[in-house]
Structure 1
């Protein structure tokens, strides 16, 4: 069964377009962001400043953390790997699916758009004015090389 899954994963990654090709990097900049914030002893809808939400999607060497990962997401100004990405064929074009439950980024090469989701905060409990703030950001990417 594992061999069948591995073969299927290799087939999927081999049939995706340049979004998962080695060497292609993208700069992704958020246009808008919204979410929830703890204030006045309750969670409220909030708009976020998308300016600091810039991401670099770049190829990474094979890793044992995720053998299917082809790219990594890095926050601008931070050299640490933020999340790993795998090729993900969408109905429209090749895509990159990055992250795990509670933290993800989805990029579609055909539209050059992305969605970033940070879902940690509300479910953790222990609300204070310094609680994590769940949010979603949308924006566009450009090819860097």
Structure 2
């Protein structure tokens, strides 16, 4: 039994990053015109999922997944960044610079409405 335990290598820890938004801006419809609007810069936790290429993005203390991500491979190497989401709501993270960008891209193109407010947030992450 000890021989089997000795042959099993250490379990590699899943990658986790804590990200803090540094700046955020966007636009909102005020009823008669679009104007610049300030947005709260959020915090995020990026965690590796069930496989080495799967990641999820959540806000600290929440179980709700804000973004599901897949880190692509370039040949045998993992890509230096990953893009999560789609046209409307997107999150991009660079594993080398440890920077992220989140944006909500719809709103303005759908017409004049106070409901959808396009924005962009930028920030930096720390690997735990």
TM-score tier (shorter): 0.7 to 0.9
Give 1:81 deviation, angstroms: 1.3
Residues in 2 aligned to 1:30 and 1:139: alpha-carbon distance in whole angstroms? 4
Task: Structure 2: state its 5+ residue gaps.
Answer: 1-11
What is the TM-score normalised by the length of structure 2? 0.75
Distance 1:75 1:111, change over 3 A: same
Tell me, yes or no, if the aligned pair for 2:29 and 2:112 is still in contact at 8 Å.
no
> What is the aligned partner in structure 2 of residue 135 from structure 1?
119
The one of 62, 66, 73 equivalent to 2:57 is: 73
Distance 2:43 2:16 in 1: 13
Greater fraction helix: 1
* DSSP 3-state at the match of 2:109: helix
Aligned-residue CA RMSD (Å): 2.5
1:29-68 equivalence runs, <5 A: 29-50=20-41, 53-61=42-50
**More strand, by proportion:** 2
Larger gyration radius, structure 1 or structure 2: 2
| TM-score, normalised with respect to structure 1 | 0.67
